[in-house]
Structure 1
Amino acid sequence: MISPILSKEDISLDLATKGKQSALSKIAIRIARRTGLDEQMVLRGLFDRERLGSTGIGRGVAIPHALLSTISSPVASLTRLAPPIDFEGPDDDPVNLIYTVLWPRSATSTFLPALSQMCRLFRTSQVEQLRQARSSDEVLAILETEPHQEFPPVCILPVSGLAAVQQH
């Protein structure tokens, strides 16, 4: 699910930010420029979702996301931050891996299963490999390998956030 919608150009390694809003802003601008989407629309979608509750899932990983009416296929980016930032996640660990997803509102029924799959991937040993990757090519190679699941397939997102994702 992840590697088919992610290309080398969608991967940013060791991005420096001043915090959560700065990180989301830089990521939104990067996605908008790569896809031709309106920067403010992308930013607003991510910020609106984040206001419902942190998209930090624990272990230093966040999966900010938004459902948008203006796209017909998923858009994603993977960003590794240096240094890690506070993302208000469930375990209070600083976040240094951010997988951002924009999903077509017309495909809402497929979004939660896809989000669940993303959460499972980012709760495996591959996370440490992604933290050590030296290039976008290496990141893609890691993501294309079949993950060995070490944790239950549960993503820790606030219940209010999940309900809102379905409506947002």
Structure 2
Amino acid sequence: MGIIGDSLAAADQYAFTRPIPKTAAARMRFLLKREGGSTKAVAQRLGVSQRTVQRYLSGRRKHPTKAVAARLEAEVRKDWQPRVRQRARRQAATAGGMTVETRARFGFTAAPGTTDDARVRRITQHLPPAYAARLFDARATGAGEQQLRDIVAEGLQEQYFKDAGRRAHDLVVEFTDIDYIDISY
């Protein structure tokens, strides 16, 4: 993904109502169920052999290496509680909106006589549900990182810099050099 896609994935995890399974065997069983009972598909997903997956499932192997444990946890988190995630996204897209906290370089194209030099700013801003819906729709259709960045930039431009249309009507914001971005809904 990219920095915005990763931030959206992390925001999904805040909606979890239960923790992910703790043991390697329980995590393997969860992935096996998600893959329709195919140990081969689980093995491909984790980058291990099919026999390794079978060993975890049978209990002959209990403690994965750090690399396998990290991949196993990441894959389980991707699929954990899909309906809870969907409900949280729907809530954000229809009623709640989302909050974006970022430190990035913002530059401007504005009327003559104003400063348009780009500088790093730390901004925390709530965006209305319309921007959340656009962001989720773009991500679902496979939009690239630049398209996701453009949607967030437009939301920050309208809500933070233009104050929801009350000032700086001709301002166009450039959103670059993202140091970090944290999205929550």
State the TM bucket, normalised to the shorter chain: under 0.3
Greater Rg by CA: 2
More helix by proportion, 1 or 2? 2
TM-score (norm 2): 0.24
TM-score (norm 1): 0.26
